[in-house]
Copies of this chain bind each other. A is one copy, B any other.
Amino acid sequence: MKKAVVLLSGGLDSATVLAIVRNLDFECHALSLDYGQRHRSELTAARNIARSLNAKAHLIIPLDLTVFGGSALIDQSIAVPTQTENSDIPVTYVPARNTIMLSLALAWSEVLDCQDIFIGVNAVDYSGYPDCRAEFIQAFESMANLATKAAAVEGKKITIHAPLMNLSKKEIIRTGLDLGVDYSITVSCYQADASGRACGQCDSCRIRRAGFVAMNITDPTHYKQ
């Protein structure tokens, strides 16, 4: 059985990716990052999703990015916006987060002797983060193939898969439902409370809600009010 490392935040997108990868008959090694995020309950969600979708292993790596700051998601003094901002990139952008998470996935994949890394980035219904675009993923893959002993010396080519890249939120939800994802255990909200209940107002909540509305099905998200 081929192995895959799957980045798992605990949100709707990465849960869908894990279901896709499992359905492709990979042995799934899920990786989450405990980076000081405001919505820490997404890590509990990640744990439940990994179990629910039968991941072979699930690692939650502690790496405190609050020492750098620079984002509403890791700095309590910067408020999470509750309406779309005018600027291109919202303050919820976390500097280099996907680069860091993919780097850790690369390390683990090399030790596992695995050449496939999956990430749930998406460039349709998303917040405009630069590290969610196809050109970034391609550049990371090129770099990864020069970075490791396995890829650069032993010729084991690394592929960074982003299966949601060109899907709308509606299409992502449809895919996940077809594969049996239980979206009630996922947490998307940037300021979810300790129980994983969502604010319903941040970008992530609004994009998620619009996806369920477009699918014309009931949104299983738990809201604070």
Q: Which residues of A contact B (CB under 8 A)?
A: 59, 61-65, 67-70, 88-89, 93, 95-100, 103-104, 106-108, 110-111, 129-131, 133, 135-136, 139-140, 142-144, 146-149, 151-153
Contact at B130–A88, with CB atoms within 8 Å? Answer: no
Instruction: Tell me the complex Cα distance, A129–B64, Å.
Output: 27
Chain B neighbourhood of A68, CB < 8 A: 107-108, 111
Contact at A69–B111, with CB atoms within 8 Å? Answer: yes
Contact at B98–A147, with CB atoms within 8 Å? Answer: yes
A-B contact pairs, 8 of them (CB 8 A): A59-B67, A61-B67, A95-B111, A97-B107, A99-B144, A130-B152, A139-B147, A143-B143
Contact at B147–A99, with CB atoms within 8 Å? Answer: yes
Q: Choose one: B59, B95, B99, B149; the contact of A143 (CB below 8 Å).
A: B99
Instruction: Tell me the complex Cα distance, A31–B151, Å.
Output: 27
Chain B neighbourhood of A100, CB < 8 A: 100, 103-104, 107
Q: Does more than half of chain A's interface fall in helix, strand or loop, or is it mixed? A: helix
Number of copies of this protein chain within its complex = 2
Chain B neighbourhood of A131, CB < 8 A: 146-148
Nearest-Cβ distance from residue A77 to partner chain B, whole angstroms = 14
Chain B neighbourhood of A65, CB < 8 A: 107
Contact at A153–B62, with CB atoms within 8 Å? Answer: no
Contact at B146–A130, with CB atoms within 8 Å? Answer: yes
Given contacts A96-B106, A97-B107, A99-B143, contact A149 B130 (CB under 8 A): yes
Given contacts A61-B63, A63-B61, contact A139 B146 (CB under 8 A): yes
Q: Choose one: B63, B89, B103, B149; the contact of A89 (CB below 8 Å).
A: B149
Contact at B89–A99, with CB atoms within 8 Å? Answer: no
Given contacts A59-B67, A67-B61, A69-B111, contact A95 B149 (CB under 8 A): yes
Contact at B103–A130, with CB atoms within 8 Å? Answer: no
